[in-house]
Structure 1
Amino acid sequence: MIRGINPVGSNLVTVDTGTIKASGAMTTDEVLAQIPQISNTFNSTAVAQTAINIGSIRPVIRYIPSQAIVGGSETLVLLNGENMIGVSGLATAPDPGMIPTIVLNRVDVMPDGASSIYGANAITGVINFVTRDNYQGFEANSSLGVADGYTSYNGSAMAGIDWNSGGAYLAYEHKSNSRLAASDRSYTMMDLTSIGGRDSRSTTCGLPNIKVGSQYYTMRGAVSNTPGSLAANVNGPFPALNATTNAGSLNRCDVNAASDLLPKQEQDSVFGSMHQHIMEGVDFSATVLWSNRLASQRQPVQSVTQTIDNTNPYFQSIAGETSQSVLLDFSPYLGRSWNVARNDITMFQFTPKLTIELPFRDWQLDLTGNYGRSFSNGMVRQLDSSALSVALRQQTINGVLSPNLVAASSSAGNAVDPYNLNLINPQVMNSILDVAQIGKATQHVLQYEGALNGTLFSLPGGDVKAALGAKYGWDDYISQWFINAPIGQVSGLPNPGSQTVFAKTHRVTQSVFGEVVVPIVSETNSMPFVNAFSLDVSGRHDDYSDFGTTDNYKIGFTWDPFEALTIRGTKGTSYDAPSLADTLAPDGRYIYNPGGTTPNARVPPGTSLADALRPSLFVPGGNPNLGPELGSTWSLGADFHPTDELGVDLTGLDVSVTRWHIFIENQIGLPPFNSPLLFQIPQYSKFYILNPTQAQVAAYGYNSFIGFPGPGLDSIYAPGVTPPYILVSARRNNIGNALLEGYDWSIKYTTDITDFGTMSLGTSGTVSTKDATQAASGTPWNSIQTYGAPLYAATAFLQLASGPWNGRVWVNYSPGFRINPGTQSYTLYNQRRMESFHPVNIYVSYALDQVADWGSGANVSLTVNNIGDDDPPIYLEGGTAIPTNGGQGIAGNGSTIGRYFVFSLQKKF
């Protein structure tokens, strides 16, 4: 906050333009993949947390599991020190991928609590994207990336001019990439039996399985409407799949094979910056960013298990039964590549700043405005299971008998033939399949800030600097959520099963903050073993219109025992404000399970069979009573940059090490609604209600009803209807604590080589010594690093520069880790460790200045990421049971595009 002074006591990790260029990064997400402290992007191909937000990445410093499922973040993302607008249908966290890479000057990562300076969402640290201050001339860049089954492109241009009293530049960037099919990467396969693992393939397939009683039959091929055709074209009966090994004789299909590992994307971005000296002591500057991204990604085709009986004229008995359960997907009708999710994001941000030099000492006043707006429109295709159900069997719904079913491929037909989907009325199929979940959200941020900073007085050690400021912020979140919406008809909604949820909320934040830096000792008054000593104290008070106030502080120091060594430390508090997308989430709804013949597994131990067969309610959504997450942090570190103090010339060596500690309480997350822990931990009893009354259910206040036999809550409490036995709340809640500790390190050495050029080499990384979670206060701590997570992440590089040539080799390393003995990978498949993942990358560039006159200012380069085309190691249990750090598909440690060539050409005029 105090101009000209780096954070006192904190570790600062910087990625400069040289590293960005050498990495071949076409996006800011790829830039972050070089930083070990950023857990969800390092050494991997980052993906969105939910299908509705495809293409949107939220970087996270340190690994904190709950952050994958909430709308905010414990890591603050800034653009030139100012808040970025959130971009998502279900979150308010910003996406730095919207920033064009051509304008980046550097990326500063401060993995330390910073709420005393920046306010909310800075518990684990801050990522600040710093753009160029000015630019003069014209520059054009073009990059083409190629991997097996994948291509990407980035084209950008920037023009700038300086005049005597100011300057301005404008940049445009277009980037695109093809989709990467999961079938093109072996580490996404679901059948791992060939390598000694589990077969996790689905049994709801295009070639259906049919359940009769407790036995299964498998269809061999197409079935006609001729009676007996089904019985003549099935194998069986077979028992259910083995509950332990998943082995069996049913039809299987790999649903990953028809989906995409990475989405297809097109993005256009414009960034502008200007500065103008208005008059003596008064300067004005401003930046503007506009960006639009279109993303699409293939998802597994719709599948379902439904009952058909003899009220359907298409029904065919196999062994004299009058009803069956059919396990099928709709690929025979739709094709394997039909189910495509889409996301369209547009954001705009404008940040003007007026700087006024005040007439006393060196004080100045900075008046900053910040306005941002984003719009997101995401769509994920669905299947209208209610419409399918009444097309498979006649049934009574809310006391009314559904229409008689008619077998016809013409418009008169209203029945579905699950044995041959191509023989029925297409209009019926479209009404079932041509629906989607559509999420639209508009977000705004408006901020005004005034800050004074300058010298208070002087001490023998130097000038005591101070900053004092106030900030006003207004944020809103407006979202519409459409469920079972006919595609292209999201107003009016003629589909009886369609529902609309509307959420609109806002927040006002008023803040005051201050910071003082006291240089107690400097070179002018140094003493033995105290060459310099500075102290930094900062504090901030934030008043929120929705949940109250927070007060946070931070104390930092730097102590130089001698010129080459700096010892530093910090201690402070931070917080994470609940996201507006979590306090009033648009996905709030009641989900009704009518019960029946299969007992509900989501009930307390000792529940009678009669109660386990009763209906149940599941209630996800937002929570207006959320409070902030609270963090306590400290760090202690040292920086060593010697010359010849030790009798050896070590000029060019920089060594840094930091010990860090983070404690987070009242974490925002979801209750373990699918785990027995829900009923084993007393503190979780508030997340379910046994024998809920209609008033207790209505208190949640939602107006979306999924799977209900009729409109509204009255339909499940009507006379003659069995009331629900249990209501389980899966709303966002403040439910747990986290404790993280570890070390960060960095070693770098740069030297000149006679008659050659320069050489640089180094390594950096982070080590986790403690990563534990607590389900609720008073419960035991659970270490998530004992099994299923790597203990550190590291990168190392060697760079050589000679004349027009520049080359770099680096490796990103994710170490192996132990497999949890309680998992099937360990007990069934004898997998004791997950192997390490360490792709090697190279970069070579050549300046064309000496080739010809046209080569002046031109540079050509080649980057090869993962030169060995290494696959990440596979978790043999497969399925959804991947370790906490798992990458794409079933990969257990990191993820990768594969061997990836990036050809780049840059020309400056």
Structure 2
Amino acid sequence: MNYNRLTRAIRSTLTGTVGLGIGLTAVMTHADSASSQPKVERITVTGSSIKGVAAQSASPITIVKTEELAKEGITTAEEALSSISANQSNRSSGSSVGSPGGALSQANLRGLGANKTLVLLNGRRLASTPFDASAVDLSTIPLALIDRIEILKDGASAIYGTDAIGGVINFITKKQYQGGGISAEGLYPKDGGGVGQQYTLFGGYGSLDDQGFNVYGAATYDKQDSVLASQRSTSSRGGVIPELGLNRTSSGSFPANIAGLGNPYANLGCGNTSKNAAAGGYCRYNSQADIGIVPQTENFSFLGKGTLKLTDNFNAIGEYLHAESKLTSLIAPDVFLGQGSDYYIPSTSPYYPGKGITPALSGANGQPLGLNLRSQGGNRLTESTMKSDRILLGLEGSAANWDITTGVSYAKSTGETALTGGYIDNDLVRTNLANGTLNPFGASANSGIWNSMQIDGVSQKAQLESTSFDFTASRPIYTLPAGDVGFAIGTNFRYDKWSQSQNPYVNSRAQSAAIDPTTKDSSGSRNLKALFTEFQVPIFKTLNAQIAARYDDYNDFGSTFNPKIALRWQPAKQLMFRTSYSTGFRAPTLYEMHNQTTKTNTAANWNDPVLCKGGTPSNGGNAARDCNAQFYSQNGGNTNLQPEKSNTFTFGVVYEPVKNVVLSADYFNIEVKNQVGQISESAIFTDPTKYADKYIRNADGSLNYINQNLQNLGNTKTSGIDLGLQWRSPMTQYGRLGLSVDGTYINNYKFQTEKNGAWENAVGKYNSDLGLGYAAGTVVTRWKHNANVNWNYDAWNLNLQQTFFKGYLDQNASGQNHRVSDYTLYNLSGTYTGFKGTEITLGIKNLLDTKPPASNVVDNFQMGYDPRYSDIMGRTYFGRVTYKF
């Protein structure tokens, strides 16, 4: 047995060549070529400020090569990270349906929230989304000319500062690129809708060794069509799914309901449409069957990099990243409910019940009638546009035995939300009801009246800017019997500025835009100064230590100090242990502290716990207003927020029992204190006694809104284990076979919804209280894994993936006892490279056409399933052609 080869393979594994079916390839390729003794390059490893050999890392890191991802049909950062088992859930574009702010495709390591996963490009920060300001939108990161993705599954605030509690995701570009190429991809779901296309043009010129420079760039354009609820059997019934206990319909219907009396058409078919159903003398509209469950998205990105060799020891580097995305969300037609400002039909209207056009209704005795009315102006369309830019000028090299890295960067992200169709001017509705020109029960004499009342325009804007300077110097400072002691010291200065504004003209006339028109523009800024240091200490030949510490000083809430210590012990050539302990923090973002207050309809329908207790009007309650209704929810920032703080402990082992088989196990234990989040609407309505202070009422006692402003909640504790298995066969006349499994088991996940409150278990069930910065709850699944079988022969590559997600106890907001079943997906792809300069990939995603597991979750606009944990697209065919020259 070649023990040197085994040792090198193990060391490669320790630095992250684990997972997604490509880790083993990287491990074994490294091992097979090791006998030639190539020059070992000192590089910067994610999670350390000291350049060195990657095998020296004591932290669990997964390395994903993007060229292998392309063979699996994965061409976006969101797809690449969704298969990482440590990534408990992804917030995808589908999560944006029905909520302002646009596309938010985010990673969420350890299930602690996307705002506690730090995303970097070449070790430096990117601009967060402007409407959230706490996490990077993955759709802004193009994978073209990205060499690899490094996922550090360990706390790293001692190295990077804020946000690195759950882990770090670092996108690493190619060092240089020569030549050019173009690629095109098509995506075609079997059931219609969701057709996608992507085009990439890339190229580079120059050699650092021969010409002293290299420049390259890549531009990518992609677009995906929307999917309507009616196009998928899972969602086609909208909010009426009896076997799940769902009957989520709206009192805002057409023909309109009359508050306190009923509907004149309730006994006549409610307008003869399948979207309406009569219930208790009223008509109820199934709004969730009339939405787009997947929005239309359109993205463009450009990534460019230039490197100039100044001397034999120093390079000047420039990077530019530009990305823009447009998301078009489609929801049910506009609604006008009797909350705050009522909508009335007077007795003088020709459409008043009993006057010859509209059927008579008992109780309509000439008094004005309050209405709950649904627009006939078509579905509401909201267009959210995001733009992101980052420019970096840096210097890298060595002087006097010091490795030096420094740079200045400027990042900016802007966003705006515009109403582009179906939104109706509320004032015109009131006017046309009052003057008798609008029929709220059927066709008006003026057939174009609904279209004439439409209003469009920009509803809100936001902008985030960040200017940063960093400097790091590292070198060996002392030689011990076991080797050199590495030392690094560095500093970072950053200035952030955030602002948000809304258009009062549009928002005052389009009440359902969910923006309070009386809210003033909001803004905030902060300065950060940081100093950090790190030591790499070879205690013995088999035992190395990493000691790091960082001090951060924020001008708006104070300072924080965070240390880290990690050990790596290799007692035998086939066995290695690693462990670490660190503290971390997350500063409340400028958005979280200064976000303007807004009001929007709740995602689900609820009963007022006072005026409609148990679903029956009481104490002067009104069924149409107070029962099974969407109420207003107030959301906003909080300038009194304090930082979240964390403690993280990890322990892992990597073992190679026989040649080409690598096993790994890494235990993690994390506690987060003072977590920032929202009390979910489900929690507020389910326990009105506990959250009595969240109910804000009008003078007449009716519910004005529930208060869901951000606040510091209690603590969160989680622990579990990452497991990895990798095997690769020798090369034979039939090719080479590889197998990998990357899984995460969550042993414990407990949280407090308030300071010093009771601990609640979150594993294996939906948690409405666990908002993690969003209004909706979340799921912490017990087990998730990704398995991959890969076969290579000559110019052929075949890949089969299995993704498994353990089922969980459903939300059961209405007292059901439903469990969401286990969920397994298979993807199959094949690649052929036998044509000169050409690579062809064909494949099928969701090979078995597995439908999303049924769910009665009501925190999302989509009903019948949860879009964050399942694939609504169904079986999807894809093809990709890349030509390089």
The TM-score, its normalising length taken from structure 1, stands at 0.79
The answer as to whether partners of 2:227 and 2:293 remain within 8 angstroms in 1 is: yes
- How far off its partner does 1:446 sit? 0.6
Other-structure match for 1:501: 520
Tell me if 1:83 matches 2:83: no
Instruction: Note the residue ranges of structure 2 that are not aligned, 5 or more in a row.
Output: 1-48, 354-359, 602-606, 767-778
Tell me if 1:477 matches 2:477: no
The answer as to whether partners of 1:617 and 1:724 remain within 8 angstroms in 2 is: no
Note the 1:819-858 alignment, pairs <5 A. Answer: 819=810, 824-826=815-817, 831=818, 833-848=819-834, 855-858=835-838
Q: Choose from 544, 566, 571 the match for 2:581.
A: 571
- How far off its partner does 1:623 sit? 1.0
Note the 1:455-534 alignment, pairs <5 A. Answer: 455-483=476-504, 485=506, 498-499=517-518, 501-522=520-541, 532-534=542-544
Distance in 2 of aligned mates of 1:488 and 1:269: 35
Equivalent AA in structure 1 for residue 415 of structure 2: S
Distance in 1 of aligned mates of 2:202 and 2:175: 13
- How far off its partner does 1:50 sit? 6.5
Tell me if 1:32 matches 2:85: no
Distance change >3 Å, CA 430–CA 581, structure 1 → 2? farther
Distance in 2 of aligned mates of 1:51 and 1:617: 13
Distance in 1 of aligned mates of 2:81 and 2:63: 11
Secondary structure at the residue paired with 1:30? Answer: helix
Instruction: Note the residue ranges of structure 1 that are not aligned, 5 or more in a row.
Output: 224-229, 241-248, 394-404, 409-415, 491-495, 523-531, 592-596, 643-649, 692-715, 849-854
The answer as to whether partners of 1:539 and 1:552 remain within 8 angstroms in 2 is: yes
1:384-440 deviation per Cα after TM superposition (whole angstroms, max 9, x unaligned): 7863674477xxxxxxxxxxx3224xxxxxxx3211353359678755x42567121
The answer as to whether partners of 1:363 and 1:454 remain within 8 angstroms in 2 is: yes
Other-structure match for 1:739: 717
Equivalent AA in structure 2 for residue 907 of structure 1: Y
Q: Choose from 559, 575, 589 the match for 1:549.
A: 559
Q: Which moved more, 1:55-64 or 1:555-564?
A: 55-64
Q: Choose from 675, 699, 707 the match for 2:684.
A: 675
1:454-495 deviation per Cα after TM superposition (whole angstroms, max 9, x unaligned): 1111111111001100110011112112356179999xxxxx
Q: Choose from 607, 619, 643 the match for 1:628.
A: 643
Distance in 1 of aligned mates of 2:663 and 2:555: 45
Q: Which moved more, 1:668-677 or 1:13-22?
A: 668-677
Secondary structure at the residue paired with 2:79? Answer: helix
Other-structure match for 1:154: 198
Tell me if 1:354 matches 2:399: no
Secondary structure at the residue paired with 2:592? Answer: helix
The answer as to whether partners of 1:369 and 1:449 remain within 8 angstroms in 2 is: yes
Distance in 2 of aligned mates of 1:138 and 1:881: 44
Distance in 1 of aligned mates of 2:742 and 2:94: 21
1:205-226 deviation per Cα after TM superposition (whole angstroms, max 9, x unaligned): 6543534636555457799xxx
Distance in 2 of aligned mates of 1:201 and 1:237: 12
Q: Which moved more, 1:114-123 or 1:212-221?
A: 212-221
Note the 1:255-654 alignment, pairs <5 A. Answer: 255-306=287-338, 308-313=344-349, 314-316=351-353, 317-322=360-365, 323-330=368-375, 333-335=376-378, 338-359=379-400, 362-380=401-419, 387=427, 390-391=430-431, 405-408=434-437, 416-420=438-442, 422-423=444-445, 430-431=452-453, 433-434=454-455, 438-483=459-504, 485=506, 498-499=517-518, 501-522=520-541, 532-588=542-598, 620-642=635-657, 650-654=658-662
The answer as to whether partners of 1:666 and 1:737 remain within 8 angstroms in 2 is: yes
Distance in 2 of aligned mates of 1:567 and 1:821: 43
Note the 1:216-231 alignment, pairs <5 A. Answer: 217-219=264-266
Q: Which moved more, 1:777-786 or 1:463-472?
A: 777-786
Secondary structure at the residue paired with 1:53? Answer: coil
Distance change >3 Å, CA 452–CA 824, structure 1 → 2? same
Distance change >3 Å, CA 284–CA 310, structure 1 → 2? closer
The answer as to whether partners of 2:380 and 2:423 remain within 8 angstroms in 1 is: no
Tell me if 1:54 matches 2:102: yes
Query: Whose Rg is larger?
Result: 1
The answer as to whether partners of 1:800 and 1:806 remain within 8 angstroms in 2 is: yes
Q: Choose from 115, 120, 125 the match for 2:167.
A: 125
- How far off its partner does 1:51 sit? 2.9
Secondary structure at the residue paired with 1:626? Answer: coil
Q: Choose from 134, 138, 143 the match for 1:101.
A: 143
Distance change >3 Å, CA 292–CA 599, structure 1 → 2? closer
Distance change >3 Å, CA 275–CA 541, structure 1 → 2? same
Q: Matched residues, percent identical? A: 20
Distance in 1 of aligned mates of 2:236 and 2:413: 37
Secondary structure at the residue paired with 2:389? Answer: strand
Distance in 2 of aligned mates of 1:873 and 1:892: 12
- How far off its partner does 1:746 sit? 1.0
Tell me if 1:174 matches 2:184: no
Equivalent AA in structure 2 for residue 358 of structure 1: A
Distance change >3 Å, CA 889–CA 489, structure 1 → 2? closer
Secondary structure at the residue paired with 2:427? Answer: helix
Tell me if 1:759 matches 2:737: yes
Distance in 1 of aligned mates of 2:172 and 2:431: 58
Distance in 1 of aligned mates of 2:277 and 2:381: 36
Secondary structure at the residue paired with 1:861? Answer: strand
Secondary structure at the residue paired with 1:196? Answer: helix
Other-structure match for 2:25: none
The answer as to whether partners of 1:516 and 1:537 remain within 8 angstroms in 2 is: yes
Distance in 1 of aligned mates of 2:449 and 2:660: 73
The answer as to whether partners of 2:241 and 2:864 remain within 8 angstroms in 1 is: no
Distance change >3 Å, CA 217–CA 425, structure 1 → 2? closer
The answer as to whether partners of 2:346 and 2:369 remain within 8 angstroms in 1 is: no
Secondary structure at the residue paired with 1:485? Answer: helix
- How far off its partner does 1:587 sit? 3.4
Distance in 2 of aligned mates of 1:342 and 1:860: 35
Other-structure match for 1:707: none
- How far off its partner does 1:260 sit? 1.6
Secondary structure at the residue paired with 1:675? Answer: helix
Distance in 2 of aligned mates of 1:222 and 1:761: 59
The answer as to whether partners of 2:255 and 2:442 remain within 8 angstroms in 1 is: no
- Two-structure CA RMSD over aligned residues (Å): 3.9
Aligned residues: 785
The TM-score, its normalising length taken from structure 2, stands at 0.81
Equivalent AA in structure 2 for residue 161 of structure 1: Y
Other-structure match for 1:871: 851
The answer as to whether partners of 1:569 and 1:635 remain within 8 angstroms in 2 is: yes
Distance change >3 Å, CA 601–CA 168, structure 1 → 2? farther
Other-structure match for 2:751: 773
- How far off its partner does 1:725 sit? 11
Equivalent AA in structure 2 for residue 123 of structure 1: I
- How far off its partner does 1:281 sit? 2.7
Distance in 1 of aligned mates of 2:762 and 2:466: 36
Equivalent AA in structure 1 for residue 530 of structure 2: S
The answer as to whether partners of 2:298 and 2:326 remain within 8 angstroms in 1 is: yes
The answer as to whether partners of 2:94 and 2:867 remain within 8 angstroms in 1 is: no
- How far off its partner does 1:283 sit? 1.8
